[in-house]
Structure 1
Amino acid sequence: MRELAATMTGFARTLRAAGVAADHERTRNLLLALDHLDVAAPADVYWAGRFTLCATPDDLPRYDRCFAAYFGGRSAKVGRTSTTTVTRHTAATEQDEQEGEAEAEAVPGTASRTEILRNRDVARLTEAERAEVHRMLSMLRGRRAQRRSRRFEAAHRGVLDQRRTIRDALRKGEVARLRRRRHSTRPRRVVLLVDVSGSMAPYAETLLRFAHALVRSEPRATRVYSIGTRLTPITAELRHRDPGTALNEVSKAVPDWSGGTRLGEELREYLTRAGARGAIVVIASDGWERGDPELLGTQMARLARQAHRVIWVNPHKGYADYQPLTGGMRAALPYLDDLVAGHSLAAFEELSERLAHA
């Protein structure tokens, strides 16, 4: 059993290097499953690992490639391994050995480290991997959806600009050219409400890093608030150029870290204080509402009437079996334009694109 555990632990490490979320809990479940199966049967080992080590459909092709390279398409013989060295396969011919080695060498090249980190859940990253994701988030410069301004600008086509045409005629003595104008455009305002309650603790820092990137790209058209047991504006703190300094200032300004969540009351306070007319409102929360869900539903209906678009970011939406069953999510769902994931770098890139084309 000790040799089997060493073999399967090495296989799980290979999967994690390829981007599969094969953590220690999933590895333990694999060993429990193999205790009831025939470890000498390749099919039993394959399906036990597939059911216990894979978390999303994206993990399946990576799992297949790693299984073929690690075991060489053959069964893992328990008696042939040691606690320190893992035997890839029992080669029948020299050609089989060469093919197995070629497949093993091809596994690290299936995806770059950056591509692997883009799709991994930030809550399951190591400190070094999370720092790398945060570094890539700091370089995010998302475009912003434009809206028509009341101001005008000179244009080759558009309505007649009578004042400029007359001034030009007085200066030159004749009407040499008809001047035209059109409405200018401005970035649409974005309001980001970030849940900093205890249930959102694994994702709060990454969400605030994303908020910092938004503020840095469009400082005049972005407003950020933290929501928990109270509503706290943190836009000024996020205007610092350095992300680390900005988050330190935010940690000093927010008094309700890892507390509860009263989304309905916070949203009512925001709509009463500032309003969201014509803005894109992004609410980042898992929907665990400690207050009255009916109040949240009422305020979400009020928000939907004011805002240009309402986007809800839920980190758990990134899992294939996610269902919006919490009271807060069920109350808010009828009034949302988009429900998106916020668990990985790729999810934040998708959110940035939605803000650019809202």
Structure 2
Amino acid sequence: MSAGPAGDSGSSAAAVGPLAPVVRDGAAILIGFTRALTAAGLVIGPARSATFLAATAALHVDDPTDVYWAGRACLTAGPDDIPVYDAAFAAYFGGRRPRRPPGAPPPVTVLRSVLPESQPPAGGPDQDDDEEPPIRAEASGADILRHRDLALLSAAERAELARMLALLRPGLPWRTSRRRRPARRGAVDPRGTVRRVMAAGGEPQRPARQRRRVRPRRIVLLVDISGSMTAYADSLLRFAHVLARRRPADVEVFTMGTRLTRVTRALASRDPDRALAAAAQAIPDYSGGTRLGEVLRAFVDRWGRRGTARGAVVVVFSDGWERGAPDLLAEQAARLRRLAHTLVWVNPHKGKDGYRPLQGGIVAVLPSVDHFLAGHSLATLQDLVEVMRDA
């Protein structure tokens, strides 16, 4: 299904050229759209999805304009969600934001896609009129791009991937603090209760209660920028920029090559291109060799033991090619694991067919790793976000 002309207010993402049509179940199309919105960072939930499907079954709306405005009314929670919704709608359905007719209120329910009027039903003229025609959807180029290997993307695909990365709204992990706050439910607060009784002149009062505060958990990203990781380094640094901009005070980013380089400040710019340009100037050993064991030891000694890695989710992006001794890498990975709350190792080659963790570096670190993931595509990076969120 393709959407109508560009809207009269706000901006939307550019349309993605559709691929060959694929016959799919109508409910699957709509569920796929809600999943695309969830991947883009919107909070949909089962209740909204169920309302979305029930309204579709009741109204049988087949106008792309109604599709857009109904989905926007049901699946967005506020003005901040609209740009993300517009971009996801354009990417999923292969069209731009439709224009709402003047004076027409936005619909409150949603729709189903049907065959274009120019295309006859699959069963031909003898098909029973009571039989539902097959519902068709167009496979979006953005959905295909999500699963493409980052090392194989063209320049145009990298530009589109950069726009998709900018749409990510990752949910990052939280931890329970030692500090407590007043609450309606929870453990009894003795001091608060005594203060209430004293303020009431000694009369019995309802006990004050308290709960532990919730604070963000620190995230530390160590990105291998050696020669064997050059094809992935740009996309991984863009991903790190998304996380750093999401929670600037709680995300630290380092690069690993022949030395350790902190690029957190360089990635502070809101503009991804400027941030990566600043990071490139700060990195002296880009696309060079790698000494993972020595670099991890430098990180643990200078930063990890001083608090940066304590209780943090530490994510290492590396293929595990080690020029030094694997024993040193194994020792430093074990030290890092003792400091961190969770240690995640992301190897882009793990997503390739036939991969086996046989490199000396990978074999050395696997006993200390909590999660060993692939990071070769946008889809696998979104899986990484879920692992970090649930850590």
Give the TM-score, by structure 2 length. 0.63
Q: 2:144 is paired with a residue of what secondary structure?
A: helix
Match of 1:328 in 2: 361
Structure 1 residues 51-130: aligned runs within 5 Å: 109=137, 111-130=139-158
Match of 1:203 in 2: 232
- Between the aligned partners of 1:245 and 1:177, the Cα distance in structure 2 is 56
Select 1:272's aligned residue among 294, 301, 304: 301
Structure 1 residues 273-292: aligned runs within 5 Å: 273-275=302-304, 276-292=309-325
The answer to whether the aligner puts 1:224 opposite 2:257 as a matched pair is: no
Shift of 1:225: 0.4
- Between the aligned partners of 1:168 and 1:198, the Cα distance in structure 2 is 65
Match of 2:335 in 1: 302
Shift of 1:186: 1.2
- Between the aligned partners of 1:220 and 1:180, the Cα distance in structure 2 is 30
Unaligned runs of 5+ in 1: 1-16, 19-97, 99-105
Match of 2:205 in 1: 176
- Between the aligned partners of 1:142 and 1:186, the Cα distance in structure 2 is 16
Q: 1:115 is paired with a residue of what secondary structure?
A: helix
The answer to whether the aligner puts 1:185 opposite 2:218 as a matched pair is: no
- Between the aligned partners of 1:337 and 1:183, the Cα distance in structure 2 is 27
Shift of 1:315: 0.7
Residue 196 of structure 1 aligns with an amino acid whose one-letter code is I
CA spacing shift, 1:309–1:166, aligned 2, 3 Å: same
Residue 166 of structure 1 aligns with an amino acid whose one-letter code is V
RMSD over aligned CA atoms reads 2.0
Indicate the percent of aligned positions where both proteins have the same amino acid: 53
Residue 325 of structure 1 aligns with an amino acid whose one-letter code is L
Select 2:326's aligned residue among 270, 283, 293: 293
The answer to whether the aligner puts 1:160 opposite 2:160 as a matched pair is: no
Contact 1:169 1:176 in 2 (8 A): yes
- Between the aligned partners of 1:320 and 1:277, the Cα distance in structure 2 is 36
- Between the aligned partners of 1:109 and 1:141, the Cα distance in structure 2 is 26
Instruction: Give a deviation string over 1:264-314, Cα, whole Å, max 9, x none.
Output: 000001111111221111000111111111100111111122211111111
Select 2:344's aligned residue among 287, 311, 318: 311
Shift of 1:341: 0.9
Count of matched residue pairs? 257
Contact 1:267 1:299 in 2 (8 A): yes
Match of 1:150 in 2: 178
Shift of 1:109: 5.0
Contact 1:240 1:246 in 2 (8 A): yes
Q: 2:171 is paired with a residue of what secondary structure?
A: coil
- Between the aligned partners of 1:171 and 1:333, the Cα distance in structure 2 is 59
Contact 1:234 1:250 in 2 (8 A): yes
Contact 1:166 1:175 in 2 (8 A): no
When you count helix as a share of all residues, which structure comes out higher?
Answer: 1
Q: 1:310 is paired with a residue of what secondary structure?
A: strand
Match of 2:162 in 1: 134
The answer to whether the aligner puts 1:246 opposite 2:279 as a matched pair is: no
Shift of 1:205: 0.6
Residue 363 of structure 2 aligns with an amino acid whose one-letter code is R
Question: Over alpha carbons, which structure has the higher Rg?
Answer: 1
- Between the aligned partners of 2:218 and 2:146, the Cα distance in structure 1 is 27
Give the TM-score, by structure 1 length. 0.68
- Between the aligned partners of 1:218 and 1:112, the Cα distance in structure 2 is 31
Match of 2:33 in 1: none
